[in-house]
Structure 1
Amino acid sequence: MTPRLGVNYTPSQGWFHHWLDFDLDAVRADLDSIAGLGLDHIRVFPLWPLFQPNRALIRPRAVEQLVALVDAAAERGLDVNVDGLQGHLSSFDFLPAWTGTWHRRNIFTDADVVAAEAEYLRTLAAALADRPNFLGMTVGNEINQFSGPPHPDPDRIGPVQAEAWLRLMLDACERGAPGKLHLHAEYDAAWYQDDHAFTPGQAARLGFATAVHSWVFNGTAQRHGHAGVATEHHAAYLIELSKAWATDAHRPVWLQEVGAPAPLIPPDHAAAFASATIANALDCTDLWGITWWCSHDVARSLADFPELEYTLGLLGNDRRVKPAGAAVARVAEELRSGPAPAPLPRTTALVVDVGEPETAPRRATCAPGGEVFEAWAALTARGVRPALVLADRAQDPAHLAARGITEVVTAAEAR
């Protein structure tokens, strides 16, 4: 199957605050500019406090506006994934008032809050279930960041509680829209942070696909430079790392967020970074698709965003195509022109030893600067195309054969 190529939709007018003054004509113009790039899907973000301002109130008008957006996308040949619990976007938290201050309750464990979250996800999914272009729900955007540090005021949980919560949320999505492609998505603490509650195993085993979010401001570009092998292959590394925990040898992986953050990726290098990152991701087997972050720049008239957030768009705030947008459009045209040969299996696998694999207490070895990360980058620089395999599977002939692995090396051997 040809991998999908799409974009995370950031409205050109008002950013995600556009839900407060929803203008379907402005949305249509944005979607026209996205379709003009030749992309095939978008990921959209309702703001949770605006859609469910009270625990017992999911605003019908807000749901109608979401349906109208999905229908407008269908008119332009765009499929839609909907993130439910927003949650967290571009450094801002969007939690309903009924979860904080005087009503402070843990969003992962409080029974009333969890039931309300489940009903919210079910309601959104049900409203879209009959739309052919509705792909499915993502539980929330990097909501794992609320579970512990470095969040300044986290709702602390452990891995058992995180998994129970994920299963409840995914079940709610399935009840609302049976058979759609429902999944969950975390930022890379799930893969890189030793004590993080959301684990690689949960990411690689729950939901229809594994979602990975690749951001090279995590130490990768700082260590390896804007055009370094590790930087241009970071997304591919996360795709391959996720496969180490998957129980299905051919589980789909969705590169659901990846972008070119300035100044670590200089603006005049953004197009080259996009081309290289996408090409390297497409060299991974079982890739469901790539969804670039993001569609349109954030307007400079909006205050307090981190500087990098203003320039991540493939299109400007004026809907003009930027060089990175033109680069992504060229890839989209190539994908439409006919199926490319499927990537070959990666026959050499690097061993990932994180301790007990379910809680992965030594995940930092997989992070930028860690032994596994740097060994994988070194192998890649030598043209090896490495896979990754957990230490407890490194001598399992059936597992290796299912993945096409014929050689296993340790980090020490890779160096």
Structure 2
Amino acid sequence: MPPAVRFGVNYTPSEGWFHHWLDFDLDSVRADLDAIAALGLDHIRVFPLWPYFQPNRTLIRPRAVDQLLALADAAAERGLDVNVDGLQGHLSSFDFLPAWTRTWHRRNLFTAEDVVDGQAAYLRTLAAALADRPNFLGMTLGNEINQFAAGPHPDPDRITADEAERWLVRLLAACAEGAPGRTHLHASYDAAWYQEDQPFTPAHSARLGAVTAVHSWVFNGTAQRHGRDSVPAEHHAAYLVELSKAWAEEPDRPVWLQEVGAPAPLVPAEHAAAFTEATVGNALDCPDLWGITWWCSHDVSRGLADFPELEYTLGLLTNDRRPKDLARVLAASAREPHPAPDVRGTALVVPADPVRRPRCAPGGPVFDAFFRLVADGVRPTTVLDTRADDKEHLAARGITETVTPDQVLPTPRGGTRS
């Protein structure tokens, strides 16, 4: 039998948001975790804020590390495993970078040797501290850290794809040095799959680290173009899971839907439960899905200023720890057995060249063709154009048919498709 799909949540503390590390209250954390465990979830993703834990390049605060361990132990007492994101990085529209990387000490986050040495020491320290905890899953290098490497970030540290790969390999190795044998990975937001000049590429996501992470947000143009209850919106998470498989070297590489949520107003509160049910059900129809980790556990308090409006209402639980309807939907799915889905035998051909990634983005021909197939009752996956005639590769993945976007989409009036 295949391993059961994991169900979890990205832990956003109900008191103080991630600033709770400044006034750490273990009783409050325990109450939050009680509410999460009551939903029947089995893991949380935890976010230490990098400047709070490593305020100086050579100072990793022991007390902060102890607080992280206390949180992990409290999770274990409630049957919750823990994944820890190290380099925060970027959360809910705010950047959290230590002073030793900015302004007067500005150095490239990805290529400055002393900065990367400091990052490696930090990740190694956190991993080593957690290594003996049975409920420690592993480290994620950072939350969507690829957003620091290109626009639309207002002040990016620009790098090449080769430099991005060297950075990823170095820091994944640091995690493994601290905690050998754990599930260490990295996570990008969807620009890695969609944006032409993003130096973190699909191949990086699908080939480096123990599993592939995808983050699915329909405010990327999907819901705006197609509506909250459209085929593309309700299958967007499944699309990213299957898109990632085109670049994977192993035919059964696990894919973790590490972030997915129901963002208002594109998904109004009264429709969030239905959106959740459809999104989760469609993702579960993807073979080799490691798990689904919802964003997020608790609403952001209205007492905190300057968040984008949607951030205040993304929680499964209200700010006073009451479950919403979408929490009940996720809890019900977590309790049900989920047999392994059938292999997806039809593969849509996608471009291997990272410059052509916009074809996979909302409005692109790959994106549109995928959802045309879904609407027609097909369960598509994807294959690179460089592998579309590789019989050995196709057989290993159970692919029996390949189609190109041109074969799926209608020919525009007045001419032939180029």
Q: Supply the distance in 2 between the matched residues of 1:259 and 1:345 (Cα, whole angstroms).
A: 26
Matched, 1:414 2:408: yes
Aligned position for 1:369: 363
Aligned position for 1:398: 392
Match of 1:9 among 8, 11, 26: 11
Alpha-carbon offset, residue 414 of structure 1: 1.2
3-state SS of the aligned residue for 1:362? helix
3-state SS of the aligned residue for 2:291? strand
CA RMSD of aligned residues (A): 0.6
Letter of the 1:351 partner, please give it. V
Q: Supply the distance in 1 between the matched residues of 2:66 and 2:6 (Cα, whole angstroms).
A: 27
Matches within 5 A, 1:151-166: 151-166=153-168
Matches within 5 A, 1:270-309: 270-309=272-311
Letter of the 1:410 partner, please give it. T
Alpha-carbon offset, residue 148 of structure 1: 1.0
Deviations 1:198-217 (A, max 9, x none): 00001000000000000000
Aligned position for 1:341: 339
Q: Supply the distance in 2 between the matched residues of 1:405 and 1:156 (Cα, whole angstroms).
A: 38
Q: Supply the distance in 1 between the matched residues of 2:178 and 2:95 (Cα, whole angstroms).
A: 26
Aligned position for 2:416: none
- Structure 1, unmatched stretches of 5+, are none
Aligned position for 1:60: 62
Deviations 1:42-89 (A, max 9, x none): 000000000000001000000000000000000000000000000000
Letter of the 1:275 partner, please give it. E
Letter of the 1:31 partner, please give it. L
Aligned position for 1:36: 38
Match of 1:323 among 308, 325, 328: 325
Q: Supply the distance in 2 between the matched residues of 1:390 and 1:145 (Cα, whole angstroms).
A: 25
Matched, 1:135 2:137: yes
Aligned position for 1:209: 211
Letter of the 2:304 partner, please give it. L
Match of 2:180 among 178, 181, 184: 178
Q: Supply the distance in 2 between the matched residues of 1:30 and 1:387 (Cα, whole angstroms).
A: 38
Letter of the 2:52 partner, please give it. L
Q: Supply the distance in 1 between the matched residues of 2:110 and 2:326 (Cα, whole angstroms).
A: 38
Deviations 1:110-149 (A, max 9, x none): 0000000000000000000000000000000000000011
- Structure 2, unmatched stretches of 5+, are 410-418
Matches within 5 A, 1:163-242: 163-242=165-244
Alpha-carbon offset, residue 412 of structure 1: 1.2
3-state SS of the aligned residue for 1:170? helix
Runs (4+) of structure 1 exceeding 4 A deviation are none
Deviations 1:16-62 (A, max 9, x none): 00000000000000000000000000000000000000001000000
Aligned position for 2:413: none
Alpha-carbon offset, residue 353 of structure 1: 2.1
Match of 2:107 among 80, 105, 108: 105
Q: Supply the distance in 2 between the matched residues of 1:186 and 1:342 (Cα, whole angstroms).
A: 27
Deviations 1:92-112 (A, max 9, x none): 000000000110010100000
3-state SS of the aligned residue for 1:392? coil
Aligned position for 1:69: 71
Letter of the 2:398 partner, please give it. G
Alpha-carbon offset, residue 367 of structure 1: 0.2
Letter of the 1:399 partner, please give it. H
Deviations 1:288-334 (A, max 9, x none): 00100000000011000000000000000000000111111111111
3-state SS of the aligned residue for 1:185? coil
Q: Percent identity?
A: 73
Deviations 1:249-280 (A, max 9, x none): 00000000000000001110100111110110
Contact 2:206 2:245 in 1 (8 A): yes
Contact 2:150 2:197 in 1 (8 A): no
Deviations 1:336-362 (A, max 9, x none): xxxx321001111111024x3xxx111
Aligned position for 2:412: none
TM-score where L is the length of structure 1: 0.98
3-state SS of the aligned residue for 2:386? helix
Letter of the 1:175 partner, please give it. E
Matched, 1:87 2:89: yes
Letter of the 2:135 partner, please give it. N
Q: Supply the distance in 2 between the matched residues of 1:223 and 1:396 (Cα, whole angstroms).
A: 35
Alpha-carbon offset, residue 235 of structure 1: 0.3
Alpha-carbon offset, residue 195 of structure 1: 1.2
Aligned position for 1:352: 350
